[in-house]
Each structure stands twice: as structure tokens, then as C-alpha cells.
A and B are shown apart, each in its own frame.
Chain A
């Protein structure tokens, strides 16, 4: 669940590019920039500027955290899925999110940061995850809306990263994008079933869900381009490929048609087709809400992080026992 909004999060003072460099470093950096300009992929063991490495560790790990935390709002509905079919689908989707988190942690670890360090940054609040998961899942329709809109927005955000200059990240993203399409389609399918075969109350449930998720989904693309100071360097390095506003527009244009087929309205009175632009115009986004939720004051921030920390601590004895078991049962190869 990558969102460009994460570009804005959890930067540290030391994260900026270094001003003073040795002659040798300058030469290496020149070669590196030339490879980027040629569209070359950078592999984990290749030389790279420290700032490039830090930017990637931050982005990939926050992406991984988002996949893992993203299991929580959906896990909330596993026991209450309306049919066995929907329950099996939901479980498969949640398992995928766990898998996506693992592909990404592995990619981040190739940059020389350990899994424990990455998890520690999440658990201590130093690293962020996508703000969208700090909103609650209040009804069953939310499972459909998350698939349709949240995963839909994530796909728009993620597809360009399949061409990221850092190859291990790009490879993980290709795998993720291939699997993510099912997530969006199952969500839309669940909503369509309720809209076409449901009761009046079920249709109202879908509309309520869409009303609550629409604006937070638009925020997933990050602040407007003129307020995204860090974007330029990421674009230059081929870590980021398409601007926030461009992706957001693409998402709105695609979603309006899907909403019509579904039979729901989107909660924006200013949403209308602009013939001159050949795009949909939409209303102003409440960025104060975005910054509030990023800053920790969303509806579920404490609950989500608390659940992750508890799972990690409760699982400590399992991790230790597995290691002890392995040590006891592994034949001493050196002795041979």
C-alpha cells in the first residue's frame, strides 16, 4: 500500500544530501548520476549516494509498514463476513497484504538495515505508515470500499514504482501490482452485489462507506505538487516517476465512471467534467485533516500501533523458541 503521501513523512534533519564530499566520492556520484540518466537499474551492492540509500530505506520500509498495518482494518471484519465466499476472499486479500509487506522488508534489508531495526522504527513511532489505515472500518461495505478506492488509489501510486531505479524495489513492486488487481476487483464486486441485489439499507451502507473514504483516498496522493519540496530529488533519481497531482487527477477521472456504474455518488458538489481540460474538476481537499492524521491524531492511530506492538511482544517467545529449536536440531556442519 504505497501512497505518495508517505514522501512527506518522517524525515530527519540528517536526511538531506551532504554538502561536503571528497574528490573520490564526487567521481562515484557522477558515475551514479550518469547511470540513472541512462535509465540503468541500481542493484543493492552497487555504489550509491548515502542520501539515495536513506531515501529508499525510508520509503520502502514505510511502504512495508503500510502493508502490515493495512491488515488490521480488514482483519476487523473476517469473523463477520456475510458469506463463506466473502470470508475466503477477505482472508486471501489479507494474506496478500502480509506477503507484500514481506517482499518489501526484504527489499529494504538489501540496503543494509536489519528487519529488527525497521520494525523498531515502526514500533517506536519513528517511521510512519499510510495514514489511510488510521481511519476505522465501521461497516461491511468498508471492506468493499477499501478494495475499490483505497487499493485503487494504491495501484495508481504503485504502478509507476515498477520502474523505480532501485531494482530490488522495482522487482517487489512488479509482483505486488500483479496481485493487487484482484484486491480492487473483489472490492468493487462486493459493492456491486450490495447495490444490485441488496436491500435499501445495504445500498445506504455502501453510500455511507463511500462518503467516508472518498476524501482520505484523495489525500493518499500526497500534498499538491507546489507543496511537495522533496519530490524533485526523488523524480531526478527515478524513485518517483509521476507527480502527486497528476496521479490524483488520473484516479478521479477513472473513479467517476466506476461510481456511475455502481450507482453511488461521490461526496463532492464541485465534481464535474471540464471540457476544456478533458478532466474532472474536483473540490478543495482539507489538508489540515491530512496533517492532523499524519501527525498522530487520526481516529485510530493509537489503536493501530498498539495492535502491532502487542503482536510483536506477544510473539517474542515464539521467535525465541523457534531459534532454540533450530539450534538444537541443526547438525554442526563444521564438525564434519
Chain B
């Protein structure tokens, strides 16, 4: 079974309403970008779930390696001073 005739895969991002981020909601196959936008509307916003759609070819996404998750993200674990809760201030000014 060859897959060379398969339409390329696209990732779909939908903005639910003005003021919110676009959020990844799934993927679909489409021959080109115009068709991908059209199909994204039909597949992912049948109930007005969106006001804007982005599509991007899946093979164009560069992702971090799940195998490197520890090495990549854990160095932030001991940097508690990056959080406001790290600092104990006098009660009278603690809500600044």
C-alpha cells in the first residue's frame, strides 16, 4: 500500500473568539492550503467554535524531542525565584 498519493497532512488551529489565542484542535488531509482552510471550517467549526482558523503543513512543524523532555525542561525546576510566591514580604505590602 503506497501513501504517495495521499493528500498532505495539515494541523488546524482555531481561535474560539476575539481576544483568545489560536489553539491546536486537530489535523486533516487536504491537497492545498485553500482546501485545508475550507475543510478545517467543515470539520472543526460546525457549531461556531471559531472566528479564525490557521492551517499549517504538519511536515513544517518543528517539535521538541519527547525523549529529551527531562534534559530540556527540568533545568527550570530549581529556579523557584522566578515565581512571585518565592518572595516573603511584610503582610502590609504583601499584595503588591
B7: A residues at CB distance < 8 A = 319, 322-323
Answer whether residue B2 sits at the interface, using C-beta atoms and an 8 A cutoff. yes
Tell me the chain A residues, 183-217 only, with Cβ under 8 Å from chain B: none
Whether the Cβ atoms of B6 and A102 lie closer than 8 Å is no
Answer whether residue A95 sits at the interface, using C-beta atoms and an 8 A cutoff. yes
Contact of A326 with B1 at beta-carbon distance under 8 Å, contacts A103-B26, A114-B6, A115-B6 already known: no
Q: What size tier do the contact residues of chain B reach?
A: 20 to 34
Answer whether residue B15 sits at the interface, using C-beta atoms and an 8 A cutoff. no
Whether the Cβ atoms of B43 and A102 lie closer than 8 Å is yes
Interface of A is mostly: helix
Answer whether residue A277 sits at the interface, using C-beta atoms and an 8 A cutoff. no
Contact of A117 with B35 at beta-carbon distance under 8 Å, contacts A46-B66, A99-B46 already known: no
With the chains together, A323 CA to B28 CA distance in Å? 15
Whether the Cβ atoms of A45 and B26 lie closer than 8 Å is no
| Minimum CB–CB distance for B9 against chain A, Å | 7
Q: What size tier do the contact residues of chain A reach?
A: 20 to 34
Answer whether residue B5 sits at the interface, using C-beta atoms and an 8 A cutoff. yes
> Which B residue sits closest to A92, measured CB to CB?
B46
B42: A residues at CB distance < 8 A = 95, 99
Tell me the chain A residues, 297-336 only, with Cβ under 8 Å from chain B: 319-320, 322-323, 325-326, 329-330
Contact of A117 with B1 at beta-carbon distance under 8 Å, contacts A172-B26, A323-B31 already known: yes
Which residues of B are at the interface with A, using a C-beta cutoff of 8 A? 1-3, 5-7, 9, 26-29, 31-32, 35, 42-43, 46-47, 63, 66-67
* 15 further A-B pairs in the complex, CB-CB below 8 A; given A102-B43, A106-B28, A172-B26: A45-B63, A46-B66, A95-B42, A95-B46, A96-B46, A106-B26, A109-B9, A109-B27, A114-B6, A116-B5, A117-B1, A171-B26, A179-B47, A319-B31, A322-B35
Question: What are 11 A-B pairs with beta-carbon distances under 8 A?
Answer: A103-B26, A103-B43, A106-B27, A114-B6, A115-B3, A116-B6, A175-B26, A179-B46, A322-B7, A322-B32, A329-B32
